[in-house]
Amino acid sequence: MKTTSRLLRRPAAVVAVAWLVLLTVATACAPLIAAHGPLDQDLSHVLALPSASHPLGTDSLGRDLLSRLLYGGQPALLAVAEALVAHLVVGVTLGLVAGYLGGWADTLITRVGDLLFALPAIIIVLVVLSVFPGNLHAAMITFGVLGSPGLIRVLRSRTLGIRQEMYVAAARVCGLSDAQILLRHVLPRLTSTVIVQAALFSAVAVIIQAGLGFLGLGAQPPAPSWGGLVADASQVIDRDPWMLVPAGVPLVLTVVALSMLGDAIRDSAVESWSVSKLATASAPPPVAKEHAEAPVPGALLSVRDLTVEIDGVPVVQGVSFDVMPGETLGVVGESGCGKSVTALGVLGLVPGNGRVTGGRVVFAGTDLTASPTELARVRGSGIAYVSQDPMVALDPTFTVLSQLREAVRRHSGANREQARERVLELLAMVGVPDPEGVAGRYPHQLSGGLAQRVLIALALAGRPKLLIADEPTTALDVSVQKEILTLLHTLQRRTGIAVLIVTHDWGVVATLCHRSLVMYAGQVVEQADVESMFVRPLHPYTAGLLAANPHRAAHGHALTTIPGTVPSPREWPVGCRFAARCPYAGDDCRAAPVALTGPAPARLTRCLHVEELVSEGARL
């Protein structure tokens, strides 16, 4: 959508689209526009110049050129559409499969593509026409297929890159089939590439179909065709040069419009990440004060300027973010950056001698920081919490049934029997295989994964609208981690619950989250939708974390790391807190606190050197 509006701001694109729409509508409405039939002859007006009755003049048989142009446009556009569909079906399918599956499928498709590349397409098309005389459909479909190796190569190489992204690895871990991954995660990323290629191929297809018409191999005379019109015009060029104008100009304009459109789409897609776009001012504009303070309309949770102190030392400072209904927001960062304290601060449950000393937490329109009663009411019923270690969170002296029943009764007022039914329902909902049996067990009789499921069931007992999950898989085995992530994903989709998940695992972010918030030394340093953050981080710390992601490590190579460590809250510098570890840091970064800015739509970063980061790529 953003690319579309950027595209429509380009005059060349608007002109191209306007011409193509005009042409399509005019050819489709030929009977309404043309006053004469395409075959009607008026021998008293042969080779006439434009007049009121023949706006574009007539040909050597007195036939109306406007009519022949419009009616001839119908088979021309149909032929282009047929070639394009064949081109896209073959090119997109094989390009995706080759790039995604690799191995023998890639080798086979690449070799067949090379073979098709080596074949002279126009000769093969002529052979097809000799087998199926006058069959423009067969000719154009053949041309579409023969033109697909170029598209296959482009999409294969793009898919090879996307296949390495965390998204895809995480989606695979989550159990999505290859087809689902290709449709949901890979294809959307290739849309602008496919559209550009389609526009450019269409331009070539217009020329080919006109060429076939010119040679008399397409629509058979006297049926009108664009190529036929050019052929007629060339025969009378010495007597009536005007005829070349209505015959040739629409053809040229259509080819130029398609090429211009392809270029404009490509430029618009590139512009979305261009440095010039980010560098609209020498210093990025600070986030508007209103934006920082007012909750986003419709947000379920709005945290504004949250500051938390432990033992009188600020450990989280000026943190603001929103969680929309049904959204999953991931909070990422190294150990000690303040993720857990932020999550607990939302619930007013700061550990140790900590307390929230500033800011607001607004949940479903209610300011929780202003009302301890509201905060207590919301805990469990509005906002639920799942901690890292389920064994610690469950009371070892009570059975699962008794702990869950207590929570259900507290939130719903159900009697014992009703509450028991609801407990079994909750256990089944979180994928506990034998709800009756598990309900009777004590926490120490549960495996880690089962205990985490029970804890999630406990969190869901009050039918909350927001689930805060603090590293819910950290204490679990790798295989169980996957199960719990899948469970959270399923619950989120089934119940529409919003999730705020604290993690240091990009795989979790890629699997579960819509947006992500990166924290460093008690501050938010970057916020963006997950895909944008993965593709183009706008803070060196995010770039470093992504580069250090173990899922991306190549076999036999040392893991990339960010040099240095997170400063402790007592050592936070005046300026950028990441400066000591940042390859882009200058004196400007160290001089004064760096504000959170919005250098691109829906993105926030706390960095003065975003342009450099974007133009050079991450050095970390």
Ligand X SMILES: Nc1ncnc2c1ncn2[C@@H]1O[C@H](COP(=O)(O)OP(=O)(O)OP(=O)(O)O)[C@@H](O)[C@H]1O
Strand partners, 286: 597
- Which residue blocks in 496-536 are alpha helix, DSSP H? 506-512, 530-535
CA-based torsion, 289, 291, 292, 297: positive or negative: positive
3-class secondary structure for 448-467?
A: HHHHHHHHHHHHHCCCCCEE
Please say whether the beta carbons of 392 and 452 come within 8 A. Answer: no
Helix, strand, coil shares, percent, the chain, to 5: 55, 10, 30
- Report the residue from 101, 126, 231, 310 that binds ligand X according to the rule CB under 6 A: 310
Cβ within 8 Å of residue 336, ≥6 positions away: 566, 568
Q: What type of residue is 567?
A: P
- Report the residue from 282, 335, 373, 415 that binds ligand X according to the rule CB under 6 A: 335
- Report the residue from 7, 155, 315, 610 that binds ligand X according to the rule CB under 6 A: 315
Using CB under 6 A as the binding rule, whether residue 341 contacts ligand X is answered as yes
Using CB under 6 A as the binding rule, whether residue 347 contacts ligand X is answered as no
> Which residue number, 314 or 583, has a Cβ lying nearer to ligand X?
314
> Which residue number, 247 or 301, has a Cβ lying nearer to ligand X?
301
Using CB under 6 A as the binding rule, whether residue 472 contacts ligand X is answered as no
- Report the residue from 336, 382, 443, 462 that binds ligand X according to the rule CB under 6 A: 336
Using CB under 6 A as the binding rule, whether residue 312 contacts ligand X is answered as no
Torsion angle in degrees (nearest 10) through CA of 203, 209, 215, 220: -150
> Which residue number, 67 or 387, has a Cβ lying nearer to ligand X?
387
Name the one range near ligand X by CB under 6 A: 204-212, 220-228, 335-343, 445-453: 335-343
Using CB under 6 A as the binding rule, whether residue 130 contacts ligand X is answered as no
* H or E segment to which residue 115 belongs: helix 103-118
Residues in the chain: 620
Q: Name residue, tokens 């469990």.
A: 380
Using CB under 6 A as the binding rule, whether residue 224 contacts ligand X is answered as no
> Which residue number, 149 or 336, has a Cβ lying nearer to ligand X?
336
Using CB under 6 A as the binding rule, whether residue 569 contacts ligand X is answered as yes
> Which residue number, 106 or 505, has a Cβ lying nearer to ligand X?
505
> Which residue number, 210 or 566, has a Cβ lying nearer to ligand X?
566
Q: Least distance (Å) from ligand X to the CB of residue 165?
A: 24
Q: Look at phi and psi of residue 233 and say left if phi exceeds 0, alpha if psi is from -120 to 50, else beta.
A: alpha
Using CB under 6 A as the binding rule, whether residue 176 contacts ligand X is answered as no
Using CB under 6 A as the binding rule, whether residue 480 contacts ligand X is answered as no
> Which residue number, 16 or 315, has a Cβ lying nearer to ligand X?
315
Please say whether the beta carbons of 79 and 27 come within 8 A. Answer: no
Using CB under 6 A as the binding rule, whether residue 565 contacts ligand X is answered as no
Name the one range near ligand X by CB under 6 A: 98-106, 331-339, 366-374, 606-614: 331-339
| Residue ranges that bind ligand X, judged by CB under 6 A | 310, 315, 333, 335-341, 351-352, 504, 568-569
